[in-house]
Amino acid sequence: MLFLVGFIGYGALGYYLFKVGHINPDATSRTGNAGYTVMSRYPHLGAVGFVWNPLPSFAQIPLMPLSHWWPELKTLGLTGVIQSAAFMAGAVVLMRRIALDANVSALLRWTGILAFALNPMIALYGANGMSEAAFLFVLLWACRRLLQWRRTHGALDLFWAGTAFGLGYLVRYEALIAAAAATVVVMVYSFRRHQRLTSWRSGVQHSWHDGVVVAFPVIAAFALWALAGWLLDASLLAQFTSQYGNSAQIEASGVVGADDVGFIPLLKVIAQSVFGIQPLVAVVLIAVVVAAFLRRRSIPAIPLAIFGSVLTFQCVAILLGSTFGWFRFFIVLVPMMVVLLLVAWPESEPPSRPEKYWRVGLSGLMIGVLLTSLPVTWKSMLDPSIGKEEFGLRSVFWPEQYPRDQFWFFWSGEVAENTVRWFDNQNLPTGSVVIDTFGLARMWLASERPDQFVVRSDYDFFDKLNNPAETGVKYILVPRPMGLGKLDAVNIRYPTLWNTGAGIGTLVMTVTGPTGGPQFRIFRIHDRPADPPLPTP
């Protein structure tokens, strides 16, 4: 029942957001990858791509054929909403299971569930088709299993935790960091336990055994996905090193690090995000860590390792200028705070008088987390300096005060849909429009005739790109060669196309945004010269 309520709630919110046009292009890219695998001109599993981690796209593949009966699953990308709503509802269920395993009071259990499920960031990313929901699901799955292992020492719990981390790598590469930190915690605890029970040698052996059980699935996932990328796309680590990889995106976008602007401004960005998503983070951490030290309970180390390592990685990446520093990258703070308070619950029955006081204090802290995080997180999301991807929600709920053409989620989608309508009305033959769908997945999804497009995953993409006139291409669409547009395959192949047509085409249309700035250009390909007549004998 809890899953159903969460799924319907997040799904309904996502449906509304997508209907009014609040669609994150990253979500569209993942949905597009699912569509190319089953509905492109050359459907194949490798079309899911190797830049975005594939699990959110894989989850949408079975839903894509249903768009024949419900077109909005594809044209709006509602398969992404279903994917994220299901994963986030599952994460809520896992939070409840963690609370039940900890044998906390009903008050603390339900306050914790609400503090997680109702957090505005959790609600948004459970609704908008992104990968955060799936990532939190696998992290909570791994966390619950390791907490169970800490209590029962069952090897099966280690296996499932490792499996969760392995699947997590197929969602976000930060799962490697969480898995590494969790493996260290497991090995240290296993060594101490078995050394105390038997001998130092036994402690070392069991430590390595338990560490391998946890780490092997994510290592296998990393190796197999890298091998698949090498075999199918000639790139071992496309998400990092390819033309569209993280490093290329960071460089093209001009992201700065501490070497460029100093530590203080970036530390301010980090502090705004941390306290903007969970204002009581310092209070909770101090209370839980001090209590764990005084009571000699190491169990809080598990959620600290899993969620804290991801948070630390994001902070370091911001300082190094190797990430965009989006507010959503700090979303792991929400489950971390709740789980820490749940596992800090004294388990002894009947509790001593100090433990009774501690239980009351924990309940009060959890209520504080619930009551403070909801308004503070919401306010941070609507602040353009913090919620750079989220502040457009102002235009969803107050469109008269904040016109939707002022936020790029809305107008970029409208521009893409208007452009694709023009193509659809041309009645073009199959495979006659070349576009690089890395940044233009919305066009392919919105089209009523997607087979007219030659997309990046098609087997003949580079043949048609290199020889457009000879291969029946009628039009090439190219984004403005600025920012991420510099990574577009068309711009790379024809650097002068935007300005001059590169000798292969004539400018037909310049598509502009709401401020008049050019976004795309459409070029009609010159006809292939007629073959010279054969000589007369």
pLDDT tens digits, the chain, 537 residues: what are they? 899 999 999 999 999 999 999 999 999 999 999 999 999 999 998 898 888 899 999 999 999 999 999 999 999 999 999 999 999 999 999 999 999 999 999 999 999 999 999 999 999 999 999 999 999 999 999 999 999 999 888 889 999 999 999 999 999 999 999 999 999 999 999 888 877 767 777 777 888 989 999 999 999 999 999 998 888 877 777 777 777 767 767 776 666 565 666 778 889 999 999 999 999 999 999 999 988 887 778 899 999 999 999 999 999 988 888 788 889 999 999 999 999 999 988 776 666 667 677 778 888 889 999 999 999 999 999 999 999 999 999 999 999 999 988 888 898 889 999 999 999 999 999 999 999 988 889 999 999 999 999 999 999 999 999 999 999 999 999 999 988 888 899 999 999 999 999 999 999 999 998 878 899 999 999 986 545 555 665
Which of 450, 500, 497, 503 lies closest to 477 in space, CA to CA? Answer: 497
Q: Which domain holds residue 295?
A: 255-401
Radius of gyration of the chain (CA): 26
Q: Assess if residue 477 is contained within a domain.
A: yes
Domain identity same for 299 and 354: yes
Domain identity same for 417 and 368: no
Domain identity same for 425 and 441: yes
Task: Give dist(CA 93, CA 266) in Å, integer.
Answer: 36
Which of 117, 157, 109 lies closest to 133 in space, CA to CA? Answer: 117
Domain identity same for 438 and 356: no
Domain identity same for 320 and 360: yes
Count: domains in the chain:
2
Tokens of 144: 């619950």
Q: CB of 335 within 8 A of CB of 136?
A: yes
Task: Give dist(CA 412, CA 467) in Å, integer.
Answer: 30
Task: Give dist(CA 78, CA 128) in Å, integer.
Answer: 9
Among 374, 401, 428, the domain boundary falls at 401
Domain identity same for 354 and 456: no
Q: Which residues pair with 477 in a beta bridge?
A: 522
Among 401, 416, 440, the domain boundary falls at 401
Q: Assess if residue 56 is contained within a domain.
A: no
Task: Give dist(CA 395, CA 407) in Å, integer.
Answer: 8
CB atoms within 10 A of CB 401: 8
pLDDT value, residue 51: 84
pTM of this structure:
0.94
DSSP string, 106-133: HHHHHHHHHHHHT-HHHHHHTTS--SHH
Which of 241, 184, 190, 244 lies closest to 215 in space, CA to CA? Answer: 184
Contacts 24+ apart (CB under 8 A), 355-359: 358/291, 359/105, 359/108
Q: Assess if residue 48 is contained within a domain.
A: no
Task: Give dist(CA 38, CA 454) in Å, integer.
Answer: 15
Q: Is the peptide bond before 350 cis (omega within 30 degrees of 0)?
A: yes
Which of 523, 492, 531, 494 lies closest to 507 in space, CA to CA? Answer: 523
Q: Assess if residue 448 is contained within a domain.
A: yes
Which of 493, 494, 482 lies closest to 520 in space, CA to CA? Answer: 482
Q: Assess if residue 223 is contained within a domain.
A: no
Q: Assess if residue 465 is contained within a domain.
A: yes
Domain identity same for 388 and 502: no
Q: Assess if residue 532 is contained within a domain.
A: no
Domain identity same for 359 and 271: yes
Domain identity same for 287 and 385: yes
Domain identity same for 352 and 453: no
3-class SS shares of the chain: helix, strand, coil, % to 5? 65, 5, 30
pLDDT value, residue 153: 87
Which of 456, 403, 449, 405 lies closest to 427 in space, CA to CA? Answer: 449
Task: Give dist(CA 144, CA 161) in Å, integer.
Answer: 8
pLDDT value, residue 506: 94
Instruction: Give the strand pairing for 505-512 and 518-525.
Output: antiparallel
Among 380, 401, 422, the domain boundary falls at 401
Domain identity same for 376 and 410: no
pLDDT value, residue 42: 93
Which of 442, 422, 437, 395 lies closest to 77 in space, CA to CA? Answer: 442
Indicate the helix (H) or strand (E) that contains 137.
Answer: helix 132-152
Q: Assess if residue 281 is contained within a domain.
A: yes
Instruction: Give the strand pairing for 475-479 and 518-525.
Output: antiparallel
Domain identity same for 423 and 395: no
Tokens of 516: 């008049």
Range 507-519 burial, b when 16+ CB lie within 10 A, else e:
eeeebebeeeeeb
